[in-house]
Amino acid sequence: MQKYASEDLIKYIKRFNEKKIMVLGDVIADRFVIADPDRLSREAPVLILRHKKEKVLAGGGANAAANIASLGAEVDLLGIRGDDASGRALIKELQGKNIITEGIFVDGSRPTAEKTRILAGGEQIVRQQVVRVDKLESSAISSKLQSYLLKYFKENIKRADAVLFSDYGNGIFSKKTCSRFIDEAAANEKITAVDSRYQLDAFKGAVIATPNLEEASQVYGKEIKTQAEVEEAGVEMRKRLNLKYLLITQGGAGMTLFAPDSKIEHIPAANFSEVFDVTGAGDTVVGTLILALAAKAPVEIAIRLANYAAGIVVRKSGVAVVSEEELIKEVIKNGS
């Protein structure tokens, strides 16, 4: 693995605040309910928790957007929310991070996608996640809302430096709309990154995609286990999906980049021994990656920055973001 001086990476981080990234994706309200253990219930063999507080944070594609904004860039977020309290709380959270939300349209026929996590523990210990309850709608959005998104996308893409597609399977993307968005971005010569949970093959022609092992296995057609299998699958998938680059993320095993001319590079995970919570780490990776590429960083440097950003966020509780200052400190600490 090639080594880079810290200065080689930091100069691109310093360009982040000059960039504007468009994020189109499934926005999710990540609700965290904080509670203290109280007593065992007489009704059932369960613990009763005493509610302390709760908060709504940006999840899904909105979390990727929040990470990009935290690193200093301007973000234009497109998506769909419900006409409900969770949707309004999510918009307030996003606007508090200076994220443009005019491209988030209201669908009164479905609730805002929401993931509720119950965190329990005393004041003197780290609170742990007890249970998660998801309220998600996976049916396709209406053709009317699809046309709203495409119209906004076409009217505003020229002002963006790059585009991130964040697909959590909540109905925004279909094979037809994916190709339209990819083609429109290509026509405007924009860098495109894709993070798709269930239909990566619908985003053929993007600049880079970032599947994890499970998602890559789904596209490849069989389970990928060993590094040799990762490399065999990655070379084939990059060509099949007509991608310039493919980055397969492998959790504690790091990530592997596939580039033109069958070039392969493996990057070990940053700070794997200090992992606390992996929630949203994939959003951090792809958000940092697209921003670094927009800042004209070579892909080999962009993936290192994404790796360092992931190493920071997994040391935090819940969905979290990384700041420019934190990323620079991490680069300096690791030397390259």
Q: Which residues are catalytic?
A: 283
DSSP letters, 99-160, are: -EEEEEEEETTSPPPEEEEEEE--TTS--EEEEEEEE---SPPPHHHHHHHHHHHHHHGGG-
Burial of 125 (0-12, 13-18, 19+ CB in 10 A): exposed
Which long-range contacts does 81-86 make (Cβ < 8 Å, 24+ apart)?
81/27, 81/29, 81/105, 81/106, 81/107, 81/112, 81/113, 82/106, 82/107, 82/108, 82/110, 82/111, 82/112, 83/107, 83/108, 84/111, 84/112, 86/29, 86/31, 86/56, 86/111, 86/112, 86/114
Which tokens belong to 90? 């999510």
Q: 251 CB contacts (<8 Å, ≥6 apart)?
A: 212, 213, 269, 278
Q: What is the spatial distance between Cα 135 and Cα 182, in angstroms, rounded to a whole number?
A: 29
